[in-house]
Structure 1
Amino acid sequence: MTLRWEAFLDRVRERGEYETHGEAERAARVVLALLGAHLVGRDRAELAARLPETMALILLNPLQAVEPLSPERFVRATAAWIEGAGEQTARWDVGAVLSVAAEAAGEDLTRRILLQLPPGYDLLFGGHAKST
């Protein structure tokens, strides 16, 4: 089931404790653009199908990544794209957006997405599908 735009932003805003929808949207756009560069094929398309259309288009037309970023570099890249963000706030932004994306994706798809990413991303997704 696809999340509606308002519902998606409401969840990101709540998770990230943002004051405005604009702040939540900015974080979501940057994080999903970076994530899209790391995902390929059916998993990326399936995640896009579960996101609001605007966010799906961002995921499917990502910022270009030369190489897969480690979780730490992903957070630093997010900080670089969000004006005024430091690493701590960027980690917060990434966690807020990716945890909502993981809920939209469901456990099985989230597990498949994590297999495409370097180790450690499960923590950025809110610990979904983490190994014990």
Structure 2
Amino acid sequence: MRNFDLSPLYRSAIGFDRLFNALEAGQSQGNGGYPPYNVELVDENHYRIAIAVAGFAEQELEITAQDNLLIVRGAHNNEPAEKTYLYQGIAERNFERKFQLAEHIQINGAKLENGLLYIDMQRIVPETLKPRRIEIK
């Protein structure tokens, strides 16, 4: 029997949680890469991504939403200084993180606080797709 690790898909797909909750039962979490991040379900229709971006200034970060894709980029503006490290454990590399969004997910805003970039999202289902009550005559 073959096992498939769906955790990379789950971690970067916002709004598909109901589907992935069923599929990911019993799956282990893998290494998320750089930079680390959390995806939080605030309530039924609100989500928040928290990305650890310590060392990046606000002007070095870029967030782009196009179609159902959210892209977060971090690029250091300064030239790397010639330094001699005895130990270098802090990553100072540029990054690009992509998140696949479900339909009807809207980005509400972002803020940088204490080395964490927070991106708030909301699922807004159009009125035409919501269930409606039909009167019986």
**TM-score, length-scaled by structure 2:** 0.26
Instruction: From the two aligned structures, give the one with the greater helix fraction.
Output: 1
Instruction: Name the larger-Rg structure.
Output: 2
Considering Cα pairs closer than 8 Å and 6+ residues apart, tell me whether 1 or 2 has the greater RCO: 1
Instruction: From the two aligned structures, give the one with the greater strand fraction.
Output: 2
